[in-house]
Amino acid sequence: MWIRAAVLLAIAPVLSRLTARAAEGSRSSFDRVRTLAAVPPVAIIGVDLNPGLCPTWYAGMQAVGALALIGVAFITRGSAPRNALPKGLRGLIVQVARTGTD
């Protein structure tokens, strides 16, 4: 139980930096933030549903944190944030091929 709290505290600066880079327009950082917003809520719910693994109050706090991440996951899966960032090299090649210009 406390290991999860320590891990979250340890990776918080990394998540903060990824979010800052995504806000600056880094597509790879944005993709990582999208993934990190979608995977942990599933793991949190799966672990907290095991009876007796952690106290009820801790499971409740984890659920509140998972709700925030679920909100971020839905927002980042929308088309507006994806379209606001530049496409990678592969997307640029496809776009040039469609328009026929250099």
pLDDT, position 94: 47
| Packing angle, helices 2-23 and 27-48, rounded to 10 | 160
pLDDT, position 93: 46
pLDDT, position 98: 56
Q: What angle do CA 95, 97, 99 make, to 5 degrees?
A: 70
| Overall residue count recorded for the chain in this entry | 102
Q: pLDDT tens per residue, the chain (102 residues)?
A: 677 778 778 888 888 888 888 888 888 888 888 888 888 888 888 888 888 888 888 888 888 888 888 888 888 777 777 777 666 544 444 455 556 555
Instruction: Indicate yes or no: pTM above 0.85.
Output: no
pLDDT, position 97: 52
pLDDT, position 1: 65
Q: CA 49 to CA 59: how far, in whole Å?
A: 8
Torsions phi, psi of 8, nearest 5? -60, -40
Structural domain spans, the chain: 2-99
pLDDT, position 10: 84
Q: CA 22 to CA 2: how far, in whole Å?
A: 30
Q: CA 14 to CA 64: how far, in whole Å?
A: 21
pLDDT, position 51: 82
pLDDT, position 44: 82
